[in-house]
Amino acid sequence: MSESNAATLFSVALIGELIGRGMRDIVLCPGARSQALALAAAAWEHDGRVRLRVRIDERVAGFLALGIAVETGLPVAIITTSGTAVANLHPAVLEAHHSGVPLLLLTADRPAELRGIGANQTTDQLGIFGSSVGWVRDVPPPVDVSGAESLAREAFAAASGTPGPVQLNLAFREPLSGTIEALPPLPVYDITAGSALPPRQIEHAPHTVVIAGHDAGPDAEAFARSLGVPLLAEVSSGSHYGPNLVVAYRRLLDDPEFGGLIERAVVFGHPTLSRQIPAMLSRSNVVVHVVRGVTAHAYNPGHRAATIDESVVHDGESDESPAARAWLGSWVHASRGMLALELAPASNVPERAGDFAREQLAVFREPVTRRMLVEAVWRVTWPHDRLVLGASRLIREADTYVSGKRIRVHANRGLAGIDGTIATATGIALSSQDAEGGGASGITRVLVGDLTALYDVGALLFGRGEVRPRIQVVVGNDGGGTIFDGLDVAATAPAVFFDRVQYTPQSVDLRALAAAYGWEYRVARNRGELDEALAASEAPTLVEVVLPR
């Protein structure tokens, strides 16, 4: 083997080994030190073995890969050059760690002789992600392809085991790449999952509720229905549907005749959207069973969980005793009653046709509210679509009001940051529309506030030749960070200080922004325009919805 081509041949072998184990997607950012990995990825893509996405911004690339991995459930590789390029992956790595999303970080680096001497674009890349990456290997510059198979095997297993990010820090010496004359035969491995621990049996008990936090999945809904108890499911839980769903759970938890009577809670997923849930779980008179799922840390407020398991099961029939039926019925009917009361019309039904027409016109011209916005987006989203919710006031509005519906909803709730929301949604859109029969006709909508959108503007950029998915970014634009208006500080801080450092007002021309990135643009200032703007389009579309502060 020619030493001048060792970097490329090793990179080809490493990526081929990862593909053989099930990797189907790579996201990369350009760079000199990582050129062998990048060219190898391009060669495997050309051979039809992997899907390659190229982005210029590593933070965008990290969240794009996260979205792909969320949708596919498979580890996704991210290729970067050295230095700050690696550091820019950190937000996505943190989210992946706390959400249990598998990522393979292939970070290029200088060889040992260039470290610690002030060499350009060189820093300590080992440990750069701290405890968020549980498996790291520092790989010396290759001289042949030896070690590629074992590194791929270990990295893929580590990312897939307890799902999360892992790092292969790959040093390369010059020459940094060579010619790829032919790809080697693709290895194929029979990957079988390890056996899971048996589920814990949960029996009937009085005054029980099932709580479904983010990414709880359909198991939480099925379990609540099997047990015959109320289901308190967050909007991004994947279980926000079914006959046992209690939409108005926050207000009922505040009511001593409902929340105060809870004696046992079974928790799926990662609840993040209310203060009432952790407060209730911290009470000494509530027995808590936690279903851990795939995240790195179990959700356990107050460290009070009686049991923490990978799964639970109820093998019997639902509890049909009068007391149990009254318990479930009281929650469900009270929730429905609250929502119906809030939707009651302010005036009687008009008697004359002219009055009816004028009232309908008034409805059409009605300014958009946050509740109207989330309910409109929820209404037009169907099972073959995808919905991504940003960390803004809007996800809480949706969690408070939207009805039960079995659709695919995602939100980055591992750390609940505003970064990377559009990029994550783009990854979900690309993968859902790639899947065979799994959404080729669907659309991905991402609902964000204006600051969340502006924080991820770089994700709007599709380079020449990159696939442009069917995606609709819906921006609730209220001119700044109105989520802070609900904090105690809003009532105590001087308004001029509060506005500058918390609300952070902005006046970006979103129409011009959409044009700069080649997106379609629509605006909705009232209810009628909102319904029209949410119509699906084949092209990436930015929808600006004007909201009051």
Domains within the chain, CATH numbers bracketed: 3-171 (3.40.50.970), 202-342 (3.40.50.1220), 353-546 (3.40.50.970)
Residue 439, phi-psi category: left (phi > 0), alpha (psi -120 to 50), beta (remainder): left
DSSP string, 442-492: --EEEEEEHHHHHHTGGGG---TT-----EEEEEEE-SS-GGGGGSTHHHH
The predicted structure's pLDDT at residue 461: 97
Alpha helices in 311-407 (DSSP H): 322-342, 353-364, 370-380, 393-401
The predicted structure's pLDDT at residue 431: 96
C-alpha pair distances (Å), 470 with each of 105, 438, 446, 467, 505:
27, 14, 11, 10, 30
Mean predicted confidence (pLDDT) in 91-103: 96
d(CA 466, CA 462): 6
**How does pLDDT run across 193-205, given as a tens digit for each residue?**
666 678 999 999 9
Per the CB < 8 A criterion, the answer to whether 282 and 224 are in contact is: no
Share of the chain above pLDDT 90, in %: 78
The predicted structure's pLDDT at residue 315: 79
Mean predicted confidence (pLDDT) in 230-255: 97
The residue with greater pLDDT, 162 or 428, is: 428
Per the CB < 8 A criterion, the answer to whether 14 and 152 are in contact is: yes
Mean predicted confidence (pLDDT) in 244-248: 97
Mean predicted confidence (pLDDT) in 46-52: 97
**How does pLDDT run across 433-477, given as a tens digit for each residue?**
988 554 456 999 999 999 999 999 999 999 999 999 999 999 999
Does the pLDDT at position 1 exceed 50?
no
Per the CB < 8 A criterion, the answer to whether 520 and 443 are in contact is: no
Does the pLDDT at position 109 exceed 70?
yes
The predicted structure's pLDDT at residue 520: 97
Query: Whole-prediction pTM value?
Result: 0.92
**How does pLDDT run across 466-521, given as a tens digit for each residue?**
999 999 999 999 989 888 888 888 889 999 998 898 989 999 999 999 999 999 99
Assigned token pair, 207: 């005054």
* DSSP bridge pairs for 106: 79, 168
**How does pLDDT run across 293-320, given as a tens digit for each residue?**
767 678 999 899 999 998 899 878 888 8
